[in-house]
């Protein structure tokens, strides 16, 4: 598991440690770790050309110390001092090691092998000011870039980017990850994130990200039967989007559901029955549907409501009927459009609810602009979890899962090829199956997102010796068993 803490918690932990250690100990631990990663990236340090972008804070000091260590190993290291005042001891160490300070605040025109970004520390907020923004714009295009703790221009707590920001190949962060390194848009500027342990004693994390080794998807035992493994009900598909039903049901089956009960109009039921004879189907053609109609479908342990369902009165009735049950309900796609019209009061229920919007759907739910959702993903997923008293899975380049009172979960798997029609329907069936197996809602949502991303990677990279292939939702669906095999 990877843990990320806010700047406030990091500062408090650093303060507690500094009170117990000789002055400068934490800084030298951080700078040594930074220099080690730089040396590894360079491969051969001697005679390489390294540029330091140095601000006036602790990150600037870390950068100067790391640059001095590289200079001691024979690198030609130049520092651009952009802040109001460099750390005196760090600057003295850097000069004594053979580093030189550039004249003026511009980027030298000579060829550079590596840039170390130490302009702004984890306390930076808002858009970069000059001369920092100009230095970022002038970065050598072919040099590798390592960011110290967090790329300058990225908000460490939120991942928000207000203007110019350093796009790093590697970010070396200290003590713990920062939320902005796990959440887009900031995560897309961080590159590969390397954590240097400097001995901090930290409280509960604010954002966590599971590795595949952390997954614990449900597995059948010798005592399992189809009911113990989980029965998931799926309300999906309509006249316009019949494929959503086929994908959601197929995903649930591939994810290991003991039984899938599917209900929709006669035409959609016929399609699902032809493709998935394992599914138990019920025709619900009437209007004015309510919970009693769902009881007629049969006992389930979780409902998935919404993929391709439409947004008419019948769809509204089905979503409300599912929410009236006493089992977990996952609402997706058209179901979220219906819910946006109904308002948060529709989720006043005892059983768990999981919402799985993309940015546009969350914008409708919250009455916000899509661009603002994408710019402040962490803020809005937390807001939605509070507003709707639900677990909210915000889909996107970095999927986030929020539940009141718990750390936000960030998913680090996936591929840009997932941006394809129908992949969300596959995620719904997968997550609904995990809910039906008894997983807590946040864990089920985060595990589903992780497995969904793994399946997409497997589908897109069938041959590790070649580049990625374009994929469809069907490819992701059929790769779900292979994703499960990668979990412990």
Residues 6+ apart with CB under 8 A from 295: none
Q: Is 397 annotated as a binding residue?
A: yes
Is 308 labelled a binding residue?
yes
From the CA atom positions of the chain, what is the Rg in Å? 26
Answer yes or no: is 112 a known binding residue. Answer: no
Distance set, CA 274 to CA 233, 306, 478 (Å): 18, 21, 17
The structure tokens 């069936």 sit at 429
**Dist. CA 424–CA 269, nearest whole Å:** 20
The Cα–Cα gap between 357 and 368 comes to 13
411 is in an annotated binding site: no
| Residue-level length of the chain | 488
- Rounded CA gap, 479 and 458, in Å? 7
Residue 212, token pair as written in the block = 């595949």
Q: Are 195 and 177 in contact (CB under 8 A)?
A: yes
Determine if residue 132 is labeled as part of a ligand binding site.
Answer: yes
Q: Was 149 annotated as part of a binding site?
A: yes
The verdict on whether residue 343 carries a ligand-binding annotation is no
State yes or no: 126 annotated in a binding site: yes
The answer to whether the annotation marks 102 as part of a ligand binding site is: no
The residue assigned the tokens 């840039």 is 115
Annotated binding-site residue? 337: no
Q: Is 58 annotated as a binding residue?
A: yes
Query: Is residue 312 marked as binding?
Result: no
Residues 6+ apart with CB under 8 A from 44: none
- Helices (H), ranges, 74-165: 88-96, 132-137
Q: What is the DSSP string of 244-260?
A: HHHHHHHHHHHTT-SEE
152 annotated to bind ligand: yes
Annotated ligand binding at 61? The verdict is yes
Query: Binding residue per annotation — 117?
Result: yes
On whether 60 is known to bind a ligand per the annotation, the reply is yes
396 is an annotated ligand-binding site residue: yes
399 labelled as ligand-binding? yes
The count of C-alpha atoms lying within 13 angstroms of the C-alpha of 149, restricted to the half-sphere facing its C-beta, is 33
Closest Cα to residue 414, out of 464, 335, 479, 354? 479
| DSSP per-residue letters across 425-445 | HHHHHHHHHHHHTT--HHHHH
Q: How far apart are CA 241 and CA 244, in angstroms?
A: 6
- Binding-site residues for AMP sit at 395-399, 424
- Binding-site residues sit at 58-62, 117, 121-127, 132, 149, 152, 244, 308, 358, 395-399, 424-425
- Binding-site residues for (6S)-NADPHX sit at 58-62, 121-127, 132, 149, 244, 308, 358, 425
- Binding-site residues for K(+) sit at 59, 117, 152
């Amino acid at each position: 598991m990877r843990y990320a803490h806010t700047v406030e918690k990091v500062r408090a932990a650093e303060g507690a440690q500094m009170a117990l250690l000789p002055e400068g100990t934490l800084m030298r631990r951080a700078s040594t770790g930074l220099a080690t990663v730089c040396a590894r990236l360079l491969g051969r340090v001697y005679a390489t050309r390294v540029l330091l972008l140095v601000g006036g804070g602790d990150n600037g000091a870390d950068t100067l110390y790391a640059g001095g260590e590289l200079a001691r190993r024979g690198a030609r290291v130049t520092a651009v001092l952009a802040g109001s005042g460099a750390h005196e001891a760090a600057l003295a160490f850097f000069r004594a090691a053979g580093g030189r300070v550039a004249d003026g605040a511009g980027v030298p025109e000579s060829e550079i092998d590596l840039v170390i970004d130490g302009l702004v520390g984890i306390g930076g907020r808002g858009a970069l000011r000059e001369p920092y923004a100009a230095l970022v714009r002038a970065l050598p295009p072919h040099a590798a870039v390592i960011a110290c703790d967090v790329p300058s221009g990225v908000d460490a707590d939120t991942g928000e980017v207000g203007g110019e920001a350093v796009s790093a190949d590697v970010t070396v962060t200290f003590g713990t990850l920062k939320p902005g390194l796990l959440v887009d848009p900031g995560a897309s500027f961080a590159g590969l994130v390397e954590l240097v342990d400097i001995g901090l004693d930290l409280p509960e994390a604010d954002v966590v990200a599971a590795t595949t080794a952390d997954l614990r998807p449900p597995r059948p035992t010798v005592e399992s039967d189809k009911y113990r493994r989980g029965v998931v009900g799926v309300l999906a598909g309509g006249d316009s989007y019949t494929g959503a039903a086929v994908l959601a049901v197929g995903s649930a089956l591939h994810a290991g559901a003991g039984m899938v009960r599917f209900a929709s109009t006669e035409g959609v039921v016929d399609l699902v029955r032809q493709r998935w004879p394992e599914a138990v189907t019920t025709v619900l053609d009437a209007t004015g549907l309510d919970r009693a109609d769902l009881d007629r479908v049969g006992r389930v342990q979780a409902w998935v409501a919404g993929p391709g369902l439409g947004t008419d009165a019948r769809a509204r009735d089905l979503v409300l009927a599912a929410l009236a049950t006493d089992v977990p309900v996952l609402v997706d796609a058209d179901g979220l459009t219906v819910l946006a019209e109904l308002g948060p009061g529709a989720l006043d229920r005892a059983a768990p609810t999981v919402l799985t919007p993309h940015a546009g759907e969350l914008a409708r739910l919250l009455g916000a602009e899509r661009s603002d959702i994408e710019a402040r993903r962490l803020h809005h997923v937390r807001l939605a979890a509070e507003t709707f008293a639900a677990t909210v899975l915000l889909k996107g380049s970095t999927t986030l899962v929020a539940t009141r009172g718990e750390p936000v979960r960030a998913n680090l798997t996936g591929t840009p090829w997932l941006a394809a029609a129908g992949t969300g329907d596959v995620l719904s069936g997968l997550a609904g199956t995990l809910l039906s197996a008894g997983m807590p809602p946040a864990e089920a949502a985060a595990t589903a997102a992780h497995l969904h991303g793994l399946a997409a990677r497997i589908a897109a990279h069938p041959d590790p010796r070649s580049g990625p292939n374009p994929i469809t939702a069907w490819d992701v669906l059929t790769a779900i068993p292979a994703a499960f095999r990668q979990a412990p």
